[in-house]
C-alpha cells in the first residue's frame, strides 16, 4: 500500500470544523477516490512536514476551526515571515551583494565548521570530505572574486536558481541561515516528519513536476546533484549533509493550494478547498499542477489575526514579498 494511503487509513477524517467525515458519506468516498488516483499519479512528489505547532497562527492546534482556517487560507510560512525577523535580503533579491554574503557565509560557517552541536560538526566534516571540490573552492577566500564574476555573467533566472541552491544548503545545516531563511523544510519520507512532529501535527502537501521545463513552485531537492548549477560552471555538491532525511526545501512556505491536510493525534483534517473541488467532476492533473482552488478573498483579514509580518506572492515560479 502507498505510504500516504497507509497513513490515512489509521486516522479519522475530519472537516475543517472538526466534524467527523463518516465512512458512508459522499465527502469520504470522494476523498478516498481522489487519494487513490493522486497516489498513482506520476507527476508530483508528496511531501511531509512535522512541526510541533505553528506559533505564528496564534491559535491552539486543538481549536480546529480556528487553526484550520489559518492553515487552509495562509499555508505554513518560513522563518523569513516571522515577527521581529529582520532579514538581510528580500525573497526576490539576486544582487551581487547577496552572492557576496553567500560566499562569505559558506567560507566562514560551513567550511570553517563553526557549529556548537557535535552532531552538526560530524555531519559537516563528512559533507566536506564527500565534496572536496566544493569545500576547496569556498574554503579559499581568494575565490570570492571569481565566484562573483561567474554569477555576474548569469541572467536573472539563472541567478535566482543559484541563489536558491546555495541558500537551501545553508538552510538545512545547523540553522546557519536563521533568521534569514525563506526556505521551509519538508521530507519525502513520513517517518522523518514524525521525528519532528513531537506532540504537534504532520502537514501533507505536494510539489508538481515541472511543466514545460519550468517549476510552478520553486524548491530544491538537496539530495540530488543540481544539473543547472553544474552546467553553469558553479561550485556544486554531490552528497548532501543529511541525505537520510530525504529533505526538500520549498521556497517561501507551503501554499494552501498544495496542502491535502494535516494530522492531529488520531485525526486528519482535510483541506476544505479540496473537498469542495472533488465533490463533482474534476481534472486530477490540473489540480496537481495548478493546485487546489482556494478562496483567498479574506487573506488579508486572516493574516492580521496571526503574528506573521507578511506573506509572499508566487506566480509561475516568480516570488515577491506581499
Burial 60-85 (b: 16+ CB within 10 A, else e): ebeebebbbbbbbbbbbbbbbbbeee
Cβ neighbours of residue 190 under 8 Å, at least 6 residues apart?
3, 4, 7, 48, 202
Percent of the chain with pLDDT over 70: 96
Q: 156, 138, 145: which is closest to 94 by C-alpha?
A: 156
Task: State pTM to two decimals.
Answer: 0.93
* Domain extent at residue 281: 3-321
Query: How high is the pLDDT of residue 211?
Result: 64
Give the chain's end-to-end CA distance (angstroms, integer).
41
Residue whose cell numbers read 520549498? 250
Give the count of domains, the chain.
1
Q: Are strands 12-14 and 267-270 parallel, antiparallel or unpaired?
A: parallel
Query: How high is the pLDDT of residue 136?
Result: 95
Q: What is the pLDDT of residues 111-127, one digit of tens each?
A: 888 787 888 889 889 99
Degrees (nearest 5) of the Cα angle 210, 216, 220?
A: 70
Query: How high is the pLDDT of residue 179?
Result: 66
Q: What is the pLDDT of residues 145-177, one digit of tens each?
A: 999 999 999 999 999 999 999 999 988 886 656
Q: 302, 200, 192, 320: which is closest to 256 by C-alpha?
A: 302
> Within the chain, where are the H helices?
3-9, 26-40, 64-74, 96-105, 118-130, 132-139, 144-152, 156-172, 190-197, 227-231, 272-277, 284-290, 299-304
How far is it, in rounded angstroms, from Cα 169 to Cα 164?
Answer: 9
Query: How high is the pLDDT of residue 38?
Result: 97
Q: What is the pLDDT of residues 39-62, one digit of tens each?
A: 999 889 999 999 999 999 999 999
Q: Are strands 44-51 and 12-14 parallel, antiparallel or unpaired?
A: unpaired
DSSP for 55-108 reads GGG-S-TT-HHHHHHHHHHH-EE-GGGSTT---SS-TT---HHHHHHHHHHIII
SS3 234: coil
| Length, in residues, of the chain | 322
Query: How high is the pLDDT of residue 175?
Result: 65
Query: How high is the pLDDT of residue 176?
Result: 59
State which residues of the chain have pLDDT below 70: 1, 174-179, 210-214
SS3 46: strand
Amino acid at each position: 500500500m502507498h505510504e500516504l494511503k497507509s497513513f490515512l487509513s489509521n486516522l479519522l477524517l475530519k472537516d475543517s470544523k472538526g466534524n467527523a467525515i463518516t465512512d458512508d458519506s459522499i465527502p469520504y468516498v470522494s476523498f478516498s477516490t481522489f487519494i487513490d488516483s493522486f497516489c498513482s499519479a506520476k507527476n508530483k512528489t508528496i511531501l511531509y512536514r512535522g512541526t510541533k505547532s505553528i506559533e505564528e497562527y496564534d491559535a491552539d492546534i486543538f481549536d480546529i476551526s480556528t487553526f484550520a482556517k489559518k492553515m487552509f487560507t495562509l499555508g505554513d510560512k518560513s522563518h523569513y515571515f516571522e515577527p521581529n525577523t529582520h532579514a538581510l535580503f528580500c525573497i526576490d533579491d539576486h544582487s551581487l551583494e547577496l552572492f557576496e554574503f553567500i560566499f562569505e557565509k559558506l567560507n566562514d560557517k560551513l567550511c570553517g565548521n563553526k557549529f556548537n552541536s557535535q552532531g552538526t560538526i560530524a555531519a559537516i566534516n563528512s559533507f566536506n570530505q564527500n565534496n572536496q571540490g566544493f569545500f576547496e573552492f569556498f574554503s579559499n577566500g581568494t575565490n570570492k572574486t571569481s565566484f562573483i564574476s561567474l554569477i555576474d555573467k548569469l541572467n536573472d533566472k539563472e541567478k535566482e536558481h543559484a541563489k536558491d541552491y546555495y541558500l537551501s544548503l545553508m538552510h538545512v545545516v545547523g540553522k546557519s541561515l536563521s533568521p534569514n531563511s525563506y526556505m521551509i523544510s519538508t521530507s519525502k519520507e513520513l517517518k522523518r516528519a514524525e521525528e519532528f512532529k513531537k506532540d504537534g501535527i504532520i502537514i501533507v502537501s505536494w510539489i508538481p513536476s515541472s511543466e514545460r521545463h519550468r517549476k510552478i513552485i520553486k524548491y530544491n531537492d538537496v539530495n540530488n546533484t543540481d544539473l543547472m548549477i553544474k552546467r553553469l560552471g558553479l561550485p556544486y555538491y554531490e552528497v548532501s549533509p543529511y541525505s537520510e532525511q530525504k529533505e526538500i526545501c520549498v521556497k517561501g512556505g507551503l501554499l494552501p493550494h498544495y496542502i491535502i491536510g494535516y494530522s492531529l493525534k488520531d485525526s486528519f483534517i482535510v483541506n476544505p478547498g479540496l473537498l469542495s473541488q472533488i465533490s463533482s467532476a474534476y481534472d486530477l492533473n490540473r489540480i496537481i499542477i495548478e493546485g487546489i482552488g482556494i478562496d483567498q478573498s479574506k487573506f488579508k483579514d486572516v493574516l492580521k489575526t496571526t503574528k506573521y509580518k507578511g506573506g509572499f506572492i508566487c506566480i509561475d515560479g516568480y516570488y515577491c514579498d506581499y
